[in-house]
Amino acid sequence: MKLTINQVAQLVNGTINLPEKGEETLDKFSKIEEGKKDSLCFLANAKYEHFLYASEATAVLVNKEFKPQKKIKPVLIYVEDPYQALAKLLQFYEQASQKNSVGIHKTAIINEKTKIGKNVFIGAYAVIEAGVEIGDNCIIKAHSFIAENCKIGKGTELNTGVKVYHNSKIGKNCKIHAGTIIGSDGFGFAPKSDGTFDKIPQIGNVVIEDNVEIGSNCTIDRATMGSTLIKSGVKLDNLIQVAHNVEIGENTVIAAQTGISGSVKIGKNCMIGGQVGFAGHISIADGSKINAQSGVSKSIKEPNKSWSGTPAREFRQHYKALAMLGKIPSLINRIKKLENNQKE
Amino acid sequence: MKLTINQVAQLVNGTINLPEKGEETLDKFSKIEEGKKDSLCFLANAKYEHFLYASEATAVLVNKEFKPQKKIKPVLIYVEDPYQALAKLLQFYEQASQKNSVGIHKTAIINEKTKIGKNVFIGAYAVIEAGVEIGDNCIIKAHSFIAENCKIGKGTELNTGVKVYHNSKIGKNCKIHAGTIIGSDGFGFAPKSDGTFDKIPQIGNVVIEDNVEIGSNCTIDRATMGSTLIKSGVKLDNLIQVAHNVEIGENTVIAAQTGISGSVKIGKNCMIGGQVGFAGHISIADGSKINAQSGVSKSIKEPNKSWSGTPAREFRQHYKALAMLGKIPSLINRIKKLENNQKE
Amino acid sequence: MKLTINQVAQLVNGTINLPEKGEETLDKFSKIEEGKKDSLCFLANAKYEHFLYASEATAVLVNKEFKPQKKIKPVLIYVEDPYQALAKLLQFYEQASQKNSVGIHKTAIINEKTKIGKNVFIGAYAVIEAGVEIGDNCIIKAHSFIAENCKIGKGTELNTGVKVYHNSKIGKNCKIHAGTIIGSDGFGFAPKSDGTFDKIPQIGNVVIEDNVEIGSNCTIDRATMGSTLIKSGVKLDNLIQVAHNVEIGENTVIAAQTGISGSVKIGKNCMIGGQVGFAGHISIADGSKINAQSGVSKSIKEPNKSWSGTPAREFRQHYKALAMLGKIPSLINRIKKLENNQKE
């Protein structure tokens, strides 16, 4: 990257506080606490504002309402939303620096009964079974495995070591990170009178719609019957468990290590923290916010509320209850006083 | 699948409410909420009963005691246990539709000092080291790795990308899902006075008995000395951590993302929810039920009890304690009243 | 192994209680509860002392202050620290029994623009991309993937199926267990007004210093900008999530299934239990001890304290609060009594 401050401002539809410095050049992105000469930084979280005042960075993306409280060195580039402006610039940078990986490695094993689109990359030692269809511009990295009859939409990327079980369907422009398993058996066993179990074969599949991103080492189980369904725009972090017959609504975002039990339906536009657990067979309303480590044991019917704790309660109720615990010592004292008064 | 209702009833030892419809055909399994014409559904959870009354399915497996509360369309097939009947039918279906995968892919690397049984399938790019023994009818899928001196019993299946460290022993008819790691080093380090650690080499192994199923991306560590032991019939879901020297008793079932610390002994026939944690060096009595997200910090000596919370307490105690929290506001009011009365 | 008691005592700088038995031979390590004739056991945890009195083992490593309370059969080898003595002996044993694995398997795909050191082992079907540098004596096992421009220091071992994304740097004498993913994208998305998200490309990397051990199926995300940093001597157990821009200080030890959110800074010499969660953008003081399943939502500024619970509180406060819950029933009784007295 080698851009002037003016060029950056133009790319992100921003304005600058010191137009006379607009031709200074920027040659790297830095975190604000590490910004040096020629760096472009961003300030999106007020917690980091104090770093601005000591920063040697050449320019910093800030919200258009931002007013520095002290003298600063960097040029400010005012934008609507610094985080989104950063996204745009980093995408621009990434596209410029990316090589166009296309071609099928000679060690990839691709069954002849497959349909592979144009401009596809398939890496070393990938294995693709019969009946698979892969759309144009897909990237399937080394050591990936795609079992029979899977469909993968255009522009989707499977990173190294992703394993996709038979009959899974993945939409367009998805990104699946290394080591994630899609379509393994749901956890279903019928107890028998002698204490052992009969396995319930899992004959359903996994359906992932478009623009979904899934982190590393996640596990997305196939449905017992029907489909485990991850809708458009969903973003999953790493090490997440999605059980059989789960449905996750559009644009819901889930942080790492959360576990979703069988047949749970999560609405759209939810924000779910890390290490949350959902009990089986419940529904979560659209726009729900669930704090990290919560345990959600019942359906959430009212949309757009925040929830916390185990069992999860509406946010303010949860904190009220926690605060109650702190009041007990003073209650003990007040009771003691009452008792003493009565004795007199 | 293409069976008449009578044929299905016969397979599961059931009876039907409308014998005159016994020759209608069924050609797919569906969830009850999605059942259409020609579908066979099942009703095992009362929560889903309302779907029955709107269902277009041709037949539904129900408990022999079940009495519909409204008019219904589907034929009812009465059985002892609908979930187990479903298991039986799905197993029948799966066996009918399964191709017989046998043969060793030419890219599989198999050390010559190995014993490979009859009718074995070994997939592309699998690697099998010296001293390994694999029983008849095993399925070892692509990208699996089996290190030196492992033994794998008859009829066991390792899905794609399973990694088995040296000296592990896996019994008969086990199923290990993709990405699971068996036999990696236990987490043992001896602290030194300068703050660094000496690694304790982990010279034990992992022993898995017969009929065990393990989900995707689990980690089962080898013992420091002796064996980490998973007994017959145990079922583990995805992303479960089993530390060194753990022992899990027969037919115990553990849901996803649970973590078991070193040297824990879990009894037989336990049911353990998701995201549970066990502190090291404790024992859990046979038949214990541990609710999701519990933190078990002490041994459980009494068998067949339910436990909840962190630290885990007997189920009713836990919920009593939670309820207590809700009583504090009313206590505050009562104390206030007492105080006002005294003042008068 | 075949050593006399005297030889063992010499190796660990110990003394024995029965010098006349010093020439008896030991030929295996056992856990104290399984010790038989010719076994060497160790006793480091008082919880296991009762096994000593029934043990048939030939010798047992104990702390030099240890005094048996009953008659025992085994010879005692007194040492400063039995656990560390065990580490030393097991390392000695492991070195003696280890074959020297060196050489590059013919199926490993190694780009020609790489620098590979001396005495390196690279296993079957490993893939190593352009610009990678691997130091002397490294072990890179089968199915590993090392993307462009990674650097791996001398003596480091990647077990089977480890995946390392581009530009990662791993120091000397590290050990990374099977299935761990290093350098996958951090979880960063900028929300848009229509509910969808713009991906923030993650252009930073992962830097792991020397003597770090990482368990199986962990996920260590690359930084958005700059580096996710794991400092010298850190030990991570299995299934741990380390988000983008996290920093973990020297010799900090973290148990399985813990999750660390973005930009968290953990100090050095911390001990962190399993299934702990850290909220984003906080700092944890050096020497902090965090109990299993805690949820740390705020920075910890005072070093060398113990923390517990969600939200995490200083250890004693947490247990005091838990105890308070138990007092409520007696408070209710006391209030009832006060009320009755007032009525009279």
Mapping DSSP onto H, E and C, the string for A237-306 reads CCCCEECCCCEECCCCEECCCCEECCCCEECCCCEECCCCEECCCCEECCCCEECCCCEECCCECCCCCE
What's the confidence (pLDDT) of residue B100? 67
| Domain limit, last residue, from B97, B128, B152 | B97
| Domain limit, last residue, from A68, A97, A126 | A97
Q: Tell me which chain B residues have a C-beta less than 8 angstroms from the C-beta of A191.
A: 84
- Within an 8 Å CB–CB cutoff, is residue B179 touching chain A? yes
Same domain, B260 and B131: yes
Residue A244 falls in the annotated catalytic set: yes
Domain assignment present for A152: yes
Res C95 pLDDT > 90: no
Going by C-alpha positions, the residue among C9, C20, C153 that lies closest to residue C88 is C9
pLDDT band at C100 (very low <50, low <70, confident <90, very high): low
How far apart CA C62 and CA C72 sit, in angstroms, is 13
Question: Count of alpha carbons within 13 Å of C336, Cβ hemisphere only?
Answer: 6
| Domain limit, last residue, from B97, B115, B145 | B97
Domain assignment present for C46: yes
Q: Which two tokens stand for residue C236?
A: 């991570």
Token pair 């979930």 is at which residue? Answer: B83
Domain assignment present for B325: no
Going by C-alpha positions, the residue among B127, B135, B166 that lies closest to residue B150 is B166
Give the burial class of A71: count Cβ atoms within 10 A of its Cβ; 0-12 exposed, 13-18 middle, 19 or more buried.
exposed
Same domain, C112 and C53: no
Same domain, B41 and B157: no
Same domain, B156 and B173: yes
Domain assignment present for C70: yes
Q: What is the pLDDT of residues A214-259, one digit of tens each?
A: 999 999 999 999 999 999 999 999 999 999 999 999 999 999 999 9
> Residue A43: in which H helix or E strand, if any?
none
Q: What is the model's pTM?
A: 0.95
Give how many domains chain C has, as a whole number: 2
CA distance A238 to chain C (A): 7
Which residues, other chains included, contact B114 with Cβ-Cβ below 8 Å and sequence gap of 6+? B128, B129, B130, B131, B132, B133, B134
From residue C15, give the alpha-carbon distance in Å to each of A187, C18, C25, C78.
54, 9, 16, 5
Per 3-state DSSP, chain B is made up of helix, strand and coil in percentages (nearest 5) of: 20, 30, 50
Residue C343 near residue A343, CB atoms below 8 Å: no
Cβ of B45 and A221 within 8 Å?
A: no
pLDDT band at A81 (very low <50, low <70, confident <90, very high): very high
Residue B222 near residue B185, CB atoms below 8 Å: yes
A301-340 as b/e: b if 16+ CB within 10 A = eeeeeebbbbbbbebeebeebeebbeebeebeebbeebee
- Within an 8 Å CB–CB cutoff, is residue C173 touching chain B? no
pLDDT band at C277 (very low <50, low <70, confident <90, very high): very high
Q: Tell me which chain A residues have a C-beta less than 8 angstroms from the C-beta of C236.
A: none
Query: Residue C234's closest chain B neighbor by CA?
Result: B196
User: In chain C, which residue ranges form alpha helices assigned H by DSSP?
Assistant: 5-11, 49-52, 82-97, 315-343
Res C97 pLDDT > 80: no
CA distance C97 to chain B (A): 10
Cβ of B185 and C179 within 8 Å?
A: no
How far apart CA A256 and CA B257 sit, in angstroms, is 12
Domain assignment present for C88: yes
Same domain, C240 and C153: yes
Can you give the residue range of the structural domain that contains B9?
Answer: 3-97
From residue C297, give the alpha-carbon distance in Å to each of A237, B300, C37, C276.
19, 31, 52, 11
Residue A248 has φ and ψ, to the nearest 5°, of -120, 125
The rounded mean pLDDT for chain A is: 94
- Rounded to 10 degrees, the C-alpha dihedral A190/A191/A192/A198 comes to 40
Give the burial class of C131: count Cβ atoms within 10 A of its Cβ; 0-12 exposed, 13-18 middle, 19 or more buried.
middle
- Give SS3 for B228: strand
Same domain, C79 and C62: yes
Higher local confidence (pLDDT), C93 or B166: B166
Same domain, A118 and A84: no
Q: Which of residues 299-318 of B touch A (CB under 8 A)?
A: none
Same domain, B48 and B188: no
For β-strands C15-16 and C3-4, DSSP reports them as unpaired
Kindly report the length of chain C: 344
Angle, helices C315-343 vs B315-343, to 10°: value is 50
Res A301 pLDDT > 70: yes
Average pLDDT score over residue span A29-47: 91
Same domain, B220 and B275: yes
pLDDT band at A334 (very low <50, low <70, confident <90, very high): confident
Which residues, other chains included, contact B104 with Cβ-Cβ below 8 Å and sequence gap of 6+? B110, B116, B120, B121, B122
pLDDT band at C258 (very low <50, low <70, confident <90, very high): very high
How far apart CA A222 and CA A41 sit, in angstroms, is 43
Q: What is the pLDDT along chain B (344 residues), one digit of tens a residue?
A: 789 999 999 999 999 999 999 999 999 999 998 889 999 999 988 889 999 999 999 999 999 999 999 999 999 999 999 999 999 999 988 887 776 678 999 999 999 999 999 999 999 999 999 999 999 999 999 999 999 999 999 999 999 999 999 999 999 999 999 999 999 999 999 999 999 999 999 999 999 999 999 999 999 999 999 999 999 999 999 999 999 999 999 999 999 999 999 999 999 999 999 999 999 999 999 999 999 999 999 999 999 999 999 999 998 888 888 888 778 888 888 888 888 888 76
- Write the residue in C91, C125, C335 that is nearest to B201 by C-beta: C91
Q: Which two tokens stand for residue C234?
A: 């850190």
Same domain, B228 and B111: yes
- Within an 8 Å CB–CB cutoff, is residue C279 touching chain A? yes
From residue B209, give the alpha-carbon distance in Å to each of B27, B141, B282.
37, 20, 22
For β-strands C121-122 and A189-191, DSSP reports them as unpaired
Q: What is the pLDDT of residues C16-54, one digit of tens each?
A: 999 999 999 999 999 998 889 999 999 988 889 999 999
Residue C5 has φ and ψ, to the nearest 5°, of -60, -40
From residue A12, give the alpha-carbon distance in Å to each of A93, A94, A154, A183, C196.
13, 15, 28, 40, 19
Q: What is the pLDDT of residues C140-156, one digit of tens each?
A: 999 999 999 999 999 99
How far apart CA C225 and CA C159 sit, in angstroms, is 28
Same domain, B83 and B168: no
Going by C-alpha positions, the residue among B107, C122, B99, C178 that lies closest to residue A127 is B107
Query: Residue C40's closest chain B neighbor by CA?
Result: B225
Kindly report the length of chain B: 344
β-bridge mates for residue A115, sequence order: A133
Same domain, A145 and A90: no
Cβ of B160 and A179 within 8 Å?
A: no
Cβ of B177 and A181 within 8 Å?
A: yes
- Within an 8 Å CB–CB cutoff, is residue C252 touching chain B? no
What percentage of chain C reaches a pLDDT higher than 70? 99
Q: Tell me which chain A residues have a C-beta less than 8 angstroms from the C-beta of C225.
A: 29-31
From residue B334, give the alpha-carbon distance in Å to each of A341, B330, C321.
16, 6, 22
Domain assignment present for C338: no
Domain assignment present for B213: yes
- Within an 8 Å CB–CB cutoff, is residue B161 touching chain A? yes
Active-site positions of C? 244
How far apart CA A43 and CA A54 sit, in angstroms, is 13
Cβ of B235 and A203 within 8 Å?
A: no
Least reliable range by pLDDT among A208-212, B30-34, C127-131: B30-34
CATH number at residue B277: 2.160.10.10
- Within an 8 Å CB–CB cutoff, is residue A219 touching chain C? no
pLDDT band at A100 (very low <50, low <70, confident <90, very high): low
CATH number at residue C16: 3.40.1390.10
Q: Which two tokens stand for residue B318?
A: 């836990």
CA distance C264 to chain A (A): 13
How far apart CA C40 and CA B225 sit, in angstroms, is 11
Domain assignment present for B143: yes
Q: Tell me which chain B residues have a C-beta less than 8 angstroms from the C-beta of C80.
A: none
